[in-house]
Amino acid sequence: MLPSETVKCPYCGEYIDLFIDPSADEQRYIEDCSVCCRPMNVVVHIDEDGVALVTVESENEA
């Protein structure tokens, strides 16, 4: 099972869980919020210790 990270939607402000693939160093993709269905730009960076840093932005911020 993939690990998850809890992030706050930049549109509706609800907290949602995103599943993270730790096998890639950096990932950029668009995922719809599971609450308001608006598209979020997701950036995932995995550091040397395998810890994920996840940021989400609205389309206007990217």
Residue of 60 and 3 predicted with greater confidence: 3
In the numeric block, the tokens 């930049």 are attached to 10
pLDDT of 7 higher than 70: yes
Encode pLDDT of 10-50 as tens digits: 999 999 999 988 888 889 999 999 999 999 999 999 888 87
Say what the pTM is: 0.83
pLDDT for the residue numbered 40:
96
Q: Could you state, in order of their start, the residue ranges of all structural domains in the chain?
A: 4-57
Between residues 12 and 52, which one has the greater pLDDT?
12
- pLDDT score for 61: 66
